[in-house]
Amino acid sequence: MDFSRRDFLGAMALATLRIGASGETKFASIQPPANPIAAAEDEDYWAMVRESFEFSPDLVMFNHAGLSPTPKAVRLREVELAARANTGPSYVVWRTQRAALKEIRQKVADLLDTPAEQTALMMNATHGLQTIISGLKMQPGDEILTTSQDYPRTFSAMEQRERREGIRSRIIPISAFAEPDEIITKIVAALTERTKLVVVCRITYISGLIFPIQRLQAELSRRKIPLFVDGAHSLGVEDDRLSTLGVPLYCSCFHKWLNGPLGTGVLTVRPNLIPEIWPLQPADQSLDPFIEKFENVGSEPHARLLSLATAIDFHHHIGWEAKASRLEYLRRRWVAEAQEIPGVTVLGGADQKTTRLVGLIQVKGKSHLEVIRSFWEKARIHTTSMQPPEFTATRISPNIFTSPAEIDLLIRTLRSIAQEA
């Protein structure tokens, strides 16, 4: 057989990807839910899903919107790939693992239903946000527009650009529980002929507010203003197909709702915009029209991104609809109980149609920091605080595998905190 060096390297790359499939068997044996919506309440099913993860016995996580665990199969795969890299780094990392990233790019592109030539692999969502906000070519006096519900690193990237180059940073105030019409009206009213980029979350980190992306995209494409969507809280739990969303710029991370390995993300850019964006780290001029210029970060461990393949398989095995309906079921369940506790307020109320994933609570007579500390001291429950300009609150975010026992513990502890106040 005529086996060229290129074929050999390609075959090695494939082998690198396939070895370790043993780790996948555990979740592969779980039957995917027949009816994704009805599966939300099937605790036996989610207990089996839970078995695919590893948990510390002395931590109860209710901050999955911050970071989520990856299944054990993914972690093992990552460890295996890192160990293999260490056996001959310059050969294994540069020649085989780097080549294997091509398949990961394709897998991520397929997940987002967008061409691989428009898909850059990143280490997180922040890197994608900063790449576009810092890199899109503009003139002093041009404007970047976002909303008060967007991510603080979006603000800091915009503000740095303002300090450095005089590109105006405009943050439009929007309520954490705004209706879609209000969002559209406020953003459209704020556009000027100097607006060169609009950046918004698909789902916000503060209250889980859902932005009407397709409507906004229609408004902006008419005005030829690119829309950049931060999908950190939608990838994995929404239908984030770019062919449907239609937006020219999108970034996300995999280490939240897709349960990918820590340190993995994606940026997608439409071909006409690629030459219009400077990469965050300099790239050769010959790469100007190519998506690869955004990945030109020098030597790095590839185990994270390569093990993402297993995480994406896990995700497809369950399906985003089953995950979304499970998360909504859990949210409604704990919110309904929390609302009945005297002294506890759940912001936005129980029937929140414009928000997802997370809930915000306040306890009468206690600051949000005291509530977080009490959750931790009483039951080792980890939560976090949200402090937009209009309120402070404790954010609660379960995950698909959160058990009824954990929800019960959350509610019992909250009752005890409220009684002390």
Ligand X SMILES: Cc1ncc(COP(=O)(O)O)c(C=O)c1O
Instruction: Note the residues at the interface with ligand X (CB under 6 A).
Output: 124-126, 151, 201, 205, 230, 232-233, 253, 265
Nearer to ligand X, 45 or 151 (CB): 151
Contact between 247 and 215 (Cβ < 8 Å): no
**Cα–Cα distance for residue pair 154/200, rounded to 1 Å:** 9
Handedness of CA 68, 73, 77, 80 (dihedral sign): positive
Of 268, 265, 251, give the one whose Cα is nearest residue 308.
Answer: 265
Nearer to ligand X, 10 or 66 (CB): 66
Q: Is 141 left (phi over 0), alpha (psi -120 to 50) or beta?
A: left
DSSP 140-178: TT-EEEEETTS-HHHHHHHHHHHHHH-PEEEEE---TT-
Going from the C-alpha of 9 to that of each of 12, 92, 97, the distances in angstroms are: 5, 10, 10
Nearer to ligand X, 201 or 344 (CB): 201
Decide: helix, strand or coil at residue 359.
strand
On the 0-12 / 13-18 / 19+ scale of CB atoms within 10 A, 228 is buried
Query: Regarding beta strands 265-269 and 143-147, do their DSSP bridges make them parallel or antiparallel, or are they unpaired?
Result: unpaired
Looking at residue 280, what DSSP letter applies?
Answer: S
Nearer to ligand X, 151 or 334 (CB): 151
Shortest CB 41 distance to ligand X, Å:
28
DSSP 81-142: HHHHHHTSHHHIIIIIIHHHHHHHHHHHHHHHTS-GGGEEEESSHHHHHHHHHHHB---TT-
Phi/psi for 257 (5° steps) reads -85, -5
Nearer to ligand X, 36 or 180 (CB): 180
Nearer to ligand X, 205 or 334 (CB): 205
Strand partners, 119: 268
Nearer to ligand X, 156 or 403 (CB): 156
Nearer to ligand X, 251 or 414 (CB): 251
Nearer to ligand X, 263 or 279 (CB): 263
Residues, the chain, total?
A: 421
